[in-house]
Amino acid sequence: MSVITIERKVLEKNDVIANENRKTFKDRNLFVLNLVSSPGSGKTSLIERTIALSRNKFRIGVIEGDLQTNLDAERVSAYNVPVVQIVTHGACHLEADLVRDAFYRVDKNDFDLLIIENVGNLVCPAGYDLGENMKVVIVSTTEGDDKPLKYPAMFRNASALIINKVDLIPYLNCNLDVLKKNAISINPSLKLFETSCFTDVGLESWIEWLNSHIQNR
């Protein structure tokens, strides 16, 4: 019982700060995404291609979360966008206070879209509100087609699903129709995208969807 109580207190404290973040983001007129996935799904590659292909549409700031190293932030900074790295030193998810502190460091810049790349994990980040407008879950075809059934909470809490690395489908034991069916069975309202950061297939639709939300924020 004490474990449940401690967990509830932690989440309640996180939710208070998340709501403060949400107000801050709204005051800054920002559209904020929380990107979540397993390790290796292509979150950072997606951010890179989104930056490269959207320069004439909207401006992007990035908060990177990782267990160790600032390698992802170094990759993103090569695109000359504001980026801050959060190193969790083993913690399996970002929390609202970490995002708040990181945002103070990145908010000196002018941008329309803030992308938060969460720690690679399909369990812990599902329960933590960061103050974002939407969670976007990414699944790569290399992970198979059963991830929605194994990690339903993440898909239930997401607004969009990106199925990445679709260029590898011919070489994998992954049924795209089954993957989509499994995802929709968990969350019928999911917006679906099929993308490849290698061929850029599907990225135009993704960027137009982002742009529509940014324009209506």
Q: Which residue has the higher pLDDT, 11 or 95?
A: 95
Q: Which residue has the higher pLDDT, 120 or 191?
A: 191
Q: Tokens for 66?
A: 């990782």
Q: What percentage of the chain carries pLDDT values higher than 70?
A: 95
Q: Does pTM top 0.75 for this prediction?
A: yes
pLDDT confidence of residue 93:
87
pLDDT confidence of residue 13:
92
- For residue 36, the surrounding DSSP H or E stretch is strand 31-37
d(CA 42, CA 196): 9
Confidence of residue 129 (pLDDT cuts 50, 70, 90): very high
What are the structural domain ranges in the chain? Answer: 2-215
Is CATH 3.30.70.20 what the domain over 2-215 is classified as, yes or no?
no
Is residue 127 predicted with pLDDT exceeding 90? no
Confidence of residue 90 (pLDDT cuts 50, 70, 90): low
pLDDT confidence of residue 148:
97
pLDDT confidence of residue 7:
53
pLDDT tens-place string over residues 156-181? 999 999 999 999 999 999 999 999 99
Sequence-separated contacts (24+) of 68-74 with Cβ below 8 Å: 72/44, 72/117
d(CA 23, CA 12): 17
pLDDT confidence of residue 4:
42
